[in-house]
Structure 1
Amino acid sequence: MATLSVAAILAENARRRPGRTALVEGDLRLTFAEVWQRALAQAGALAGLGVRPGDRVALMAPNTADFPVAYYAIAAAGAVVVPVHLLLSAEEVEHVLKDSGATLLLVHPAQADTGRAAAGTAGIRALTLGEEFGKLTADAEPLPSYVTRAADDPAVVFYTSGTTGVPKGAVLSHFNLVMNATVNAFDANDIRPDDIALGALPLFHAFGQTVSLNSTWRGGATLVLLPRFDAARALALMVREGVNTFHGVPTMFVALAAAAADADRLPELRVCVSGGASLPVAVLERFEAAFGAKIYEGYGLSETSPTATVNQPVFGTKAGTIGHPLWGIDVEIARAELEGRIELLPPGELGEVVVRGHNVFSGYLGRPEATAEAVVDGWFRTGDLGTKDDEGFLRIVDRKKDVIIRGGYNVYPREVEEVLMRHPEIAQAAVIGLPDELHGEEVCAVVVPAQGTTPDATELTEWSKQHLGRHKYPRRVEFTDALPLGPSMKVLKRELRARYTGR
């Protein structure tokens, strides 16, 4: 039986680069040896509390040093990490605790009220990171090393915000996560030990956890944490710490490009990775012009550890695409309307994006039917529509469920958003379909105006008409100060549809 643990990512650095700075948060600076010592001490405390290999331990913390230390402590104890989204209500947290079968919740003081309330209702123990858990750790005997696990044993259960129904727990193995961190670090983009990455993406989310935390440490590089993303503060921090690597979602790139104009100095960035949602080409161009740095856009889901594809220097890059599959992973386009089997389509055809490889999850916890629907003939069905061109570059056209059908014609919101983002008075745009008696659905653009502008709805519709097909341009334009974002910084289109339906 092959054994493997996510904990080895940190343990190996403590052996190879003990004195190198691993983690920076505010004034706190920890070497790899120090982070590993803290993790082993906490793992000893967990074992003392009766946490056994395979037990599930929930972790609710922002991007402070507490998160990575506790994350690796849980892994070192042989337990399974259940990261909890910070924006959930006590009721939603309770669902995660009960559904995952967590036996313990480690919660940061900032989230303690919500976390403790949820743990109380779920009937499990909650410990506050910092003083309370620190006392237990000080009295415990640190583990001599990490508990070894089978490569296919569960390491993390991610709760997917699921566009439908209750969140499901996607079970990822040690093999899934170690491989994804490894190919991200060494095959997709070249990560070097002297790199310094900004950890601004939430670590409770698959993108932040794999790409910012695990991949950065897999390459032996330094992670600088930013607990709350604010563009001006992020720029100042990156300059101060010599950050050369940035991972973000499109809304972060929008904010950084805008803040660059007022900054005294800009960081010298070498690697920028975008994911989590489609990056409008106009935003990519704006950012690259301001920073003189390339953005490598990628794509993935919680169920795929998460990275499935990314623009990689070895294949060249193409704006508006999500690049090529990672090493050891296949990503193809399949006939979307076929339910029980996978039929792959030739290049250029539009279909559902399907993924197979070492990154595909073990399944949804306790939901065999949902797993059987998602993994067909060995391929994971993403629910996203896309194409693959002759050079193998993949493109996401839209979510299957976000496609607007207006008068029998398909309208892909992403295409309309790309056009709108080129208008000088638009800072952000989300395009949704709203019920319409005549056409079935009508195209509606929800727009955040650029600072200091007051765009006119009729003019925007007229302008769109010149750039888009007759069935595509938005007949309705609504203005808002901010778009509703989910915990992973994706625009919540279902909320927008609910807000503007019937108005």
Structure 2
Amino acid sequence: MLKPFLRLLLKTLFRVEVQGDRNVFGDPRTLIVANHESFLDGLLLGVFLPVDAVFVVHTQIASRPLFRFLLRFVPHLAVDSSSPLAIKQIVRLVESGRPVAIFPEGRITRTGSLMKVYDGAALVASRTGATVVPVRIDGAAQSYFGRLAGVFPRRAFPRMRIAIRPPQRIPMPALPSARLRRRRAGELMRHILLDMLVTTRPPRTLYEAFLDARATFGTQYRLVEDIRLQEETYGSLLKMALALARLTARLSAPGETVGVLVPNAAPALGLLLGLSLGRRVPALLNYTAGPEGLRAACQAADIKTIVASRTFVEKAHLGPLLAAVPEIRVHYLEDLKAGFGLADRLWLLWHLAFPRRAALPQAPEDAAAVLFTSGSEGKPKGVVHSHASLLANVAQIRAVADFTPQDKFMMALPLFHAFGLTCGALLPLVSGCQVFLYPNPLHYRVIPELVYDRNCTVLFGTSTFLGNYAKFAHPYDFGRLRYVIAGAERLAESVREHWLDKFGIRILEGYGVTECAPVVAVNVPMACRNGSVGQLLPGIDYELEPVPGIVEGGALHLKGPNLLKGYLLFDQPGVIQPPPAIRPGWYATGDIASVDADGFLYIRGRLKRFAKIAGEMISLEAVEGLAASAAPDFIHAAATRSDAARGEALVLFTTAPELGRERLLATARALGLPELAVPRVIRRIDALPLLGTGKTDYQSLKRMAEEIPA
């Protein structure tokens, strides 16, 4: 009688919902593993799961008077995690044929993310061959039974959800020592739990996810700040989004792709949300791509309307850029305000009270945004992402990184950069992490000062930008930073060492592509290896395709919930084309990569950035690494030009004034590189050409290389 009563009570108070197949507990040897959100977790599993599981409880918890009383009604095994006999006790219990429930984290989360996963549960699963059933508990952390006070707002009766995932197994790793086997099994368990967090995310649109976050944190929660030094709340952002949705509805039709040309500022987020809730697809235009790049992007996405900021266009001198597309209507935000009349104000007041009614019907799989490839290797392509793919990447990032509402991001990467959109806009909007938006990443003196002045704890940037910030920053400017994450280009070893020496901060390198929304892999404090770009995010599968002439690694193919819907191409405007893939549902990155035994990903170079010289494949990135070793305090980039005798010839562009072939040859011998990897043509330049995203402009370098006389 007690169990039905508790089930009814909890269902009434917390509106508990159970999802998933309840018939997965049939194996006599079943190990139920769950994330640990609150002191209610054991009760929730005991009452709502369809099996009578034995709960593994730490002796310290079991000895507390209240829990000692409650545990009298629950089958349990009290173990001391410091005892070498603890694992044997749990193994015997599993082998007895009774389902066993355990929390591998060993403690209640204090960040809202997954905590450290102990190896014990995984070792039990691998020793016994038990079926592992992952169970996600969601919502309990926000109750007064959780431990997120001061981190997340707490509520008396939050809605709770229990999601049962398909069963899995953890085979005993074939490694030489018990310590290595235990560690590898523990890592497999961690990945099972991370995948569980991503796959159990609720299906939502961007606007719905924003409204859910507003309900969690409250209308007055301060979220976004920009160079006006004015903080915008969830309430003011909602008001902005609704007003802009009303105004832009007169300029475009539902389903239309609308160009967006605005700087990093709070109104940009309001515009993105406004277009999204009105079922318009914002296309983030790269204003550094030049007239030809803008024209190609607008044609590929079939853009007929651009919404821009007049102040930004004037200050950034973008008038000639817009003049390159005279056939496209340009509407300025400053002008739209004048058309907001009494009827619009009444509509706004009504929908501020009932914001979900303002959104036009959409599905999570519908197109949500269009980004454009950098154009570093050809004409920019429109990359169409759905609501689901963008929010999947946000969920993947939150699963591996313990960002909390106590963090404040500094985001100077533009929103047209996939890194800037996902990490600088969407992640804060749905997670409650605060963000400072700055419009120009090239202000190397200003940004470190703002990081210090605005108490930022997370900084995103490219290797080039981070290297320049370090040059001008005071050693104390970055004293509050918890995370410094580098992406978009390979992290230079000199930049890594500079940050470590000057600030005592380890830069965490990641890897992403616009087509994956964009983060694919990232080093985090819990799993970091220098030289790699980290482990793949949960939910992503990979395959390496052999490439003739390349011994180490292969062409990287990816599959996951964060993949694009398709491309918009210059020659077929407005028509979504499937991406190149080895099979449907996959994406060919065009990168050469390798993966080590622990799952860390190493990017060896772009497939297009290999030169075939005298029949041998030479990585241009290896050539750049050679130059960096020979002259570490300077910037280098390699390109190719046609060569009648060898097919292609290497050209090295460098800012080092005295770097010659002899020094490169000596360094190559020391590094074990072939002489073919040493360029014969070396050109000194003051600075490498860069795209607006901070990446090297290889198209320009290629043209410069071809212009060099043979």
TM over 0.5: yes
Q: Aligned ranges for residues 110-129 of structure 1 at < 5 Å?
A: 110-111=312-313, 113-114=319-320, 116-118=322-324, 120-122=326-328, 125-129=329-333
Q: Of the candidates 8, 12, 19, which is equivalent to residue 220 of structure 2?
A: 19
RMSD over equivalenced CA pairs, Å = 2.6
Identity of aligned residues (%): 25
Instruction: Note if 1:221 corresponds to 2:433.
Output: yes
CA distance in 2 between partners of 1:384 and 1:359 (Å) = 18
CA 113–374 in structure 1, closer or farther in 2 if over 3 Å, else same: farther
Partner of 2:595: 388
Number of the residue aligned with 2:493: 281
Output aligned runs, 1:27-66, within 5 Å: 27-47=229-249, 49=250, 51-66=252-267
Alignment of 1:432-451 (within 5 A): 432-449=639-656
**Which amino acid letter does the alignment assign opposite residue 34 of structure 1?**
S
Cα deviation code 1:293-338 (max 9, x no counterpart): 2222111211111111112334x21112111111111123122469
**Following superposition of structure 1 onto structure 2, how do residues 321-332 of structure 1 map, counting pairs within 5 Å?**
321-332=532-543
Larger Rg: 2
| Aligned counterpart, 2:286 | 85
Could you tell which deviates more after superposition, 242-251 or 376-385?
376-385
Q: Deviations over 1:25-46 (max 9, x none)?
A: 1222211221121111111212
Match among 385, 395, 406 for residue 182 of structure 1:
395
Identify which range, 232-241 or 414-423, moves more after superposition.
414-423
The yes-or-no answer on 1:403 pairing with 2:610 is yes
Instruction: Between 90-99 and 57-66, report the one with greater CA deviation.
Output: 90-99
In structure 1, the gaps of 5 or more residues are: 339-344
Judged with a 3 Å threshold, the aligned counterparts in structure 2 of structure 1 residues 419 and 465 are, in CA distance, closer, same or farther, namely: closer
Is 1:303 the counterpart of 2:506 in the alignment? Answer: no
How has the CA–CA distance of structure 1 residues 249 and 429 changed in structure 2, closer, same or farther, with 3 Å as cutoff? same
Q: Which residue of 2 aligns with 1:342?
A: none
Please give the per-residue CA displacement for 1:162-220, whole angstroms capped at 9, x wherever unaligned: 45543222211010011111221x21211101100011111111111012221233321
| Contact 1:170 1:365 (8 Å CA) reproduced | yes
Specify which structure has the bigger relative contact order, considering alpha-carbon pairs within 8 angstroms and separated by 6 or more residues: 1
What do the CA deviations read for 1:136-159 (whole angstroms, capped 9, x no partner)? 346633353333411110001122
* Distance change in 2, residues 1:456/1:329 (3 Å): closer
- Residue 567 of structure 2 aligns to which amino acid in structure 1? Y
Q: Number of paired residues?
A: 483
User: Residue 273 of structure 2 is aligned with which of 72, 79, 90?
Assistant: 72
Distance 1:423 1:46 in 2: 55
Choose which of 342, 353, 359 in structure 1 pairs with 2:562.
359
d(CA) in 2 for partners of 1:425, 1:169 = 36
Name stretches of at least 5 consecutive residues in structure 2 with no aligned partner.
1-201
Contact 1:107 1:115 in 2 (8 A): no
**What secondary structure sits across from 1:38 in the alignment?**
helix
2-side partners of 1:264 and 1:297: how far apart? Answer: 22
Q: CA deviation at 1:360?
A: 1.1
Aligned to 2:153: none
Q: Shift of residue 226 of structure 1?
A: 1.4
Question: 2:684 corresponds to which residue?
Answer: 479
Pair 1:95-2:296 in alignment = yes
SS state at 1:376 partner: coil
- TM-score with structure 2 length normalisation? 0.64
Q: Distance in 2 between matches of 1:273 and 1:211?
A: 11
Task: Tell me by how many angstroms 1:462 deviates.
Answer: 4.8
Question: Given the superposition, is the C-alpha separation of residues 154 and 102 from structure 1 closer, same or farther in structure 2, using an over 3 Å criterion?
Answer: same
Return the alpha-carbon distance in structure 1 between the equivalents of residues 641 and 487 of structure 2.
27
Q: TM-score, normalised by structure 1?
A: 0.88
Farther-moved stretch of structure 1 (237-246 vs 463-472): 463-472
Look up the SS of the partner of 2:655 in the other structure: strand
> 1:311-326 counterparts in 2 under 5 A?
311-314=523-526, 316-326=527-537
